[in-house]
Amino acid sequence: MLRMGGLATALVAALWLIPQACAEEWPSRPVKIVVAFAPGSSADQFGRLIAPELASVFKQQFFVENRPATAAPSARRRSRARSPTAIRS
């Protein structure tokens, strides 16, 4: 019985938080797309191709920042370290 009470409490809390989370506008400022390859690479070209499309859908500026590194995780760490609001994946 105690287990059902905890489950019910969690369900009520989740239902209460969903509208609040959905009410928040995203993105509220320009979005940086970090590409872990050199400018002119296929990954860079893809990022530059989708940035205007994303901007038109979300009505916010998207820009590509190239961070050539030895590996993609290095670029991901750099973007997270600089922005406390970076989306964690």
Q: What is the pLDDT of residues 32-43, one digit of tens each?
A: 888 888 899 998
Any idea where the domains of the chain sit in the sequence? 26-82
pLDDT of residue 63: 92
Tokens of 65: 């920042």
The pLDDT mean for the chain works out to 74
Kindly give, in sequence order, each residue whose CB lies less than 8 Å from that of residue 22, ignoring residues fewer than 6 positions away: none
Structure confidence at residue 62 as a pLDDT band (50, 70, 90) = very high
pLDDT of residue 68: 80
Interatomic CA distance for residues 30 and 62, integer angstroms? 6
What is the pLDDT averaged over residues 49-66? 91
9, pLDDT greater than 50: yes
